[in-house]
Amino acid sequence: MAQSAGYALGPEAIAVAAEAFGRSWHFIEQDPVLAGQERQTLKAELARAVLSAASSGERDHVRLANRAIGEVRQRLERTHKGRREAQVRWFRQGF
């Protein structure tokens, strides 16, 4: 059983997670909403999301991939929104 970053997964779960990562990465690379994000950031966020979903017991690679894509988009949109709000506050304060 492999364990990384708090996730303990058996061989079957790792195989399903790897398949889900590959399928979802292909989609994320083409996703215009995520365009402009750093490639390494996207990969790290995707890996975290796939492992999180797999550790909850999901073993269907399509559902894992879809769930991970949704989590990555949601997380990065929140991060982007937070940065944008900070920029607006900074600008309003007169730099």
Share of the chain above pLDDT 90, in %: 47
Element of type H or E holding 9 = strand 7-9
pLDDT tens digits, 35-80? 788 899 899 999 999 999 999 888 999 999 999 999 999 888 776 6
- pTM exceeds cut of 0.95: no
- Domain count for the chain, please give it: 1
DSSP string, the chain: -EEETTEEE-HHHHHHHHHHHHHHHHHHHH-GGGTTS-HHHHHHHHHHHHHHHHHTT---HHHHHHHHHHHHHHHHHHHHHHHHHHHHHHHHTT-
Residue 85 domain boundaries: 2-92
How many CA within 13 A on the CB side of residue 84? 6
